[in-house]
């Protein structure tokens, strides 16, 4: 499929893990993709792999916790490509803060909220006016199973931050739907990226991990490709009547009516 011919997609914090998988999936369907990350070495690997695959992926190194850098990077992208059609707010993470609430500090909360919420607010604020001018846009916010159902290994700040992103999605969907812009949330379970694999190994015993696996109806852990496929749908023209939705990608481990 070439659903994204002539479309421009921005994916934040996407040099590795889920974001990288999304970038290559959208590029494989014809999108011109911009990947942001602060890890310059990882971005070099993205460039090299994209060149080998014949994918149209550009990279920009910046600190997304610096508002001015975010503003300038969006302006550069819009000037170079002439439009921004898709925004995937992928930046986030639990940042390995203590799991127990009473062990967490104000600094832990501030860091996690900045990465998972504030950075996404800044990016979205700069991108939306471009989408309004073209009367078209797709915004996908990265939520989490943790933000909907709690977590067995990520701390309270992460759970709260991902819950906030779902609420953020609902308001954006309502406010900008009339402009042709949809906004939806994807909520993965524990997808086995290298970072998550390391995190689980630190906080769960092999027995506990086996127990968790048995609780997933499809009897496997999630893969990057599972999330990339979900985002590829929500970011497409086909999903034009899907707005303010939350798509759980957790193998049925947690369900709701």
The tens place of each residue's pLDDT in the chain, 257 residues long, gives 789 999 999 999 999 999 999 999 999 999 999 999 999 999 999 999 999 999 999 999 999 999 999 999 999 999 999 999 999 999 999 998 999 999 999 999 999 999 999 999 999 999 999 999 999 999 999 999 999 999 877 899 999 999 999 999 999 999 999 999 999 999 998 788 777 677 667 766 778 778 878 888 998 888 999 999 999 999 999 999 999 999 999 999 889 88
Q: What is the pLDDT of residue 140?
A: 98
Q: Read off φ and ψ for residue 130, nearest 5 degrees.
A: -65, -40
> If you count DSSP H runs as helices and E runs as strands, how many of each does the chain have, helices first?
10, 7
Question: Distance between CA atoms of 193 and 199, rounded to whole angstroms?
Answer: 10
Q: What is the pLDDT of residue 199?
A: 67
Q: What is the pLDDT of residue 206?
A: 79
Question: Distance between CA atoms of 14 and 17, rounded to whole angstroms?
Answer: 7
What is the arrangement of strands in the sheet containing 246-249, beginning at the earlier edge strand?
A: 57-61, 32-37, 8-11, 86-89, 137-142, 181-188, 246-249
Which has the closest alpha carbon to 14: 6, 23, 5, 3? 23
Do you know the residue count of the chain? 257
Q: What is the pLDDT of residue 159?
A: 96
158 is catalytic: yes
> What's the pTM value of the predicted model, to 2 decimals?
0.94
Question: Given 4, 136, 158, 233, which residue is catalytic?
Answer: 158
Q: What is the pLDDT of residue 28?
A: 96
Q: What is the pLDDT of residue 191?
A: 84
Q: What is the pLDDT of residue 148?
A: 93
| 8 A C-beta contact, residue 39 and residue 63 | no
Q: Token match 């290994």: residue? A: 153
Question: Distance between CA atoms of 208 and 215, rounded to whole angstroms?
Answer: 11
Handedness of CA 23, 239, 188, 70 (dihedral sign): positive
Q: What is the pLDDT of residue 207?
A: 81
Q: What is the pLDDT of residue 170?
A: 98
* Distances, alpha carbon 257 to alpha carbons 143, 175, 183, 230, in Å: 18, 25, 21, 20
């Amino acid at each position: 499929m070439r659903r994204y011919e002539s479309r421009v997609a921005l994916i934040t914090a996407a040099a590795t893990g889920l974001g990288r998988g999304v970038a290559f999936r959208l590029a494989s369907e014809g999108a011109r993709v911009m990947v942001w990350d602060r890890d310059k070495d990882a971005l070099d690997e993205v460039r090299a792999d994209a060149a080998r695959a014949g994918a149209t992926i550009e990279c920009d190194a910046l600190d997304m916790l610096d508002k001015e850098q975010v503003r300038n990077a969006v302006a550069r992208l819009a000037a170079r490509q002439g439009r921004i059609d898709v925004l995937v707010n992928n930046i986030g993470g639990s940042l390995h803060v203590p799991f127990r609430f009473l062990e967490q500090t104000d600094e832990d909360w501030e860091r996690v909220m900045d990465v998972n919420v504030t950075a996404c607010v800044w990016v979205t604020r700069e991108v939306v006016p471009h989408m309004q001018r073209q009367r078209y846009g797709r915004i996908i916010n990265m939520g989490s199973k943790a933000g909907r159902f709690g977590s067995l290994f990520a701390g309270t700040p992460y759970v709260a931050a991902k819950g906030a992103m779902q609420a953020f999605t609902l308001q954006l969907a309502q406010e900008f739907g009339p402009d042709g812009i949809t906004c939806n949330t994807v909520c993965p379970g524990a997808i086995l990226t290298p970072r998550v694999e390391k995190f689980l190994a630190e906080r769960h015993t092999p027995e506990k991990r086996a127990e968790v696996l048995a609780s997933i109806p499809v009897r496997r852990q999630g893969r990057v490709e599972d999330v990339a496929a979900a985002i590829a749908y929500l970011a497409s023209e086909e999903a034009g009547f899907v707005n303010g939705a939350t798509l759980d990608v957790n193998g049925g481990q947690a369900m709701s009516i």
